Structures are given as structure tokens and as C-alpha cells.
């Protein structure tokens, strides 16, 4: 049996947006399509030559049917190409790449697109009882981001709580975490300002209510930090936690 070789010929991404930031109203499928098109262009691959598409996506609420197919078609890939949306929580994009590699190894396909797409700012709230009406009393809104993205369904504990537990288990102090966060922000700023990410980022056009659209070419979050405020932040998940 001949062993097929697997190569990643192109890898790109859109800029990273802040929560509630510049991409707040851009669907994940739109961001996904921009990344797919950017990857194809970078590798000089004709979209008509794609055999299959795997795209990771965790919170698909309000995106419409078959998010992976939406992203693929918007990127110019023919509607006849099979597309699959993968939900393996934080590993969704990585699992998509694994499936693509396996398809090549098994001789099922030659050229595939694999990646992930998410917009946590655009995940909606749910009104579970609204479909059949309310009889009496108050209701509630369910945060789709919390319910389907950041909450362990077995213990009903936020993922951030496990970060607190990990810090406690391995004696990672608040000061060490703050120092790491500051260093991470500074590294991100330096990388963006020195063009380190220029070869991997594809720009996103964001329409504005008035005036010309914004062309976003770099990550957003590193510009929002105030370093002097980091040591003053309250614990975000546990009363006596250290994760902010």
C-alpha cells in the first residue's frame, strides 16, 4: 500500500478581534470565508480543485444551516464540494486538520481545506420557553456563549474555574499570571508593529454605518490593555481565585 504524503501548503488567519470589538457584528462564517479565500490565494490553488472542506465551529447558533458550507461557498468553492462542520470545542480547528490529513493518507482526497471559525461576540442569547408562549411569571435569557461555549455541562462550572484550580494545584501565583499576561500583550504588540504576522494575516473589511468601511489588517486586543490596571483586576471566576 502506497503511503501518501501530507503537506500544509498555506496557513492564514484573520486578525484577532476583541470581545465586543470591531468584528462584533461579523458572522463567524464570513470570517471563515475570508480565511479560506486567503489561504487559497496564498497557495495559488484554484477553488474548483478542492475535494472537501472541514471547518471547526463551536457555537453555531444563529449562523444558519451548515456553517462550513456557507464559508466555503462564500470563498468561491463550488457547491458540489462536500463540507463538514466540526464541533470538538477548543480542538475543533485542530480536529478539522486531522480529518483532512487522514483523508489524504487514506487516498480519499487530494486537496482539502481545513480550519476553524468563531465569533464569540456574535453568539446570541436564548429564550427557551418563547416558542410555545409563557403561562405566567418571569422568564430568563440564556447566554449562548456561556451555555454552549464556556460551561462544563457535567459539573456546570465555567471553564475559567478550572484555570483557577490549575493555578492552585501547580502553585502559579497571581503575580506570575499577571507578569505572563503583560509579557504576552507586549509580545503581541511587538509582533504586530514589526510585521511578524504580516505573512499570515488576511485583512477583513468591516462596513460602517457612515463613511468608508474599515480595513482591519492587524490584531485588535493588544491595543486595549492598560498595564497599570492588570494587578488591580478582580478575580473573574472564583471568589478567592487568581484568574482575571
The answer to whether residue 39 is domain-embedded is yes
pLDDT at 137: 84
Integer CA distances (angstroms), 216 to 1, 23, 207, in order: 47, 9, 11
Helix residue spans in the chain (DSSP H): 28-43, 67-74, 92-105, 144-145, 159-169, 174-193
pLDDT lower than 70: segments of the chain? 1-2
Q: For the chain, how far is it from start to end, CA to CA, in angstroms?
A: 53
What pLDDT does residue 160 have?
95
Same-domain status, 42 and 99: yes
DSSP 8-state assignment for residue 156:
T
Q: Are residues 40 and 113 in the same domain?
A: yes
Phi/psi of residue 122, nearest 5 degrees: -100, 5
Are the CB atoms for 81 and 21 separated by under 8 Å? no
pTM over 0.85: yes
> Among 107, 132, 153, where does a domain finish?
153
pLDDT at 241: 95
pLDDT tens digits along 117-134: 999 999 999 999 888 888
Q: Do β-strands 151-152 and 157-158 pair in parallel, antiparallel, or remain unpaired? A: antiparallel
DSSP 52-119: EEEEE-S--TTS-S-HHHHHHHHTT--TTS-EEEE-BTBTHHHHHHHHHHHHHHTTS-SSEEEEE---
Spatial distance between the Cα atoms of 64 and 86, rounded to a whole number of angstroms: 15
Host domain of residue 147: 124-153
Instruction: Give pLDDT, residue 69.
Output: 99
Residues 45, 117: one domain? yes
Q: In terms of domains, do 48 and 72 share one? A: yes
Residue 63 has a pLDDT of 98
Based on the structure, what is the number of domains in the chain? 2
Please tell me whether residues 71 and 114 are part of one structural domain. yes
Amino acid at each position: 500500500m502506497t503511503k501518501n504524503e501530507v503537506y500544509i501548503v498555506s496557513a492564514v488567519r484573520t486578525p484577532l478581534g476583541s470581545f465586543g470589538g470591531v468584528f462584533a457584528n461579523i458572522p463567524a462564517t464570513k470570517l471563515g470565508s475570508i480565511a479560506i479565500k486567503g489561504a487559497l490565494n496564498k497557495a495559488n490553488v484554484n477553488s474548483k480543485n478542492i475535494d472537501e472542506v472541514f471547518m471547526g465551529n463551536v457555537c453555531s447558533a444563529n449562523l444558519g444551516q451548515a456553517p462550513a458550507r456557507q464559508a466555503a461557498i462564500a470563498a468561491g468553492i463550488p457547491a458540489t464540494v462536500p463540507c463538514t462542520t466540526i464541533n470538538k470545542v477548543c480542538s475543533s480547528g485542530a480536529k478539522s486538520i486531522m480529518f483532512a490529513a487522514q483523508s489524504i493518507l487514506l487516498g480519499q482526497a487530494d486537496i482539502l481545506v481545513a480550519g476553524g471559525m468563531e465569533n464569540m461576540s456574535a453568539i446570541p442569547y436564548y429564550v427557551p420557553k418563547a416558542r410555545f408562549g409563557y403561562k405566567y411569571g418571569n422568564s430568563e435569557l440564556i447566554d449562548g456563549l456561556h451555555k454552549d461555549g464556556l460551561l462544563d455541562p457535567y459539573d456546570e462550572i465555567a471553564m475559567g474555574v478550572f484555570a483557577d484550580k490549575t493555578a492552585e494545584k501547580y502553585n502559579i501565583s497571581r503575580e506570575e499570571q499577571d507578569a505572563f499576561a503583560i509579557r504576552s500583550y507586549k509580545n503581541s504588540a511587538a509582533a504586530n508593529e514589526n510585521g511578524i504576522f504580516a505573512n499570515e494575516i488576511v485583512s477583513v473589511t468591516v462596513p460602517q454605518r457612515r463613511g468608508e468601511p474599515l480595513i482591519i489588517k492587524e490584531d485588535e486586543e493588544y491595543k486595549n490593555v492598560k498595564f497599570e490596571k492588570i494587578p488591580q483586576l478582580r478575580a473573574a471566576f472564583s471568589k478567592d481565585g487568581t484568574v482575571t
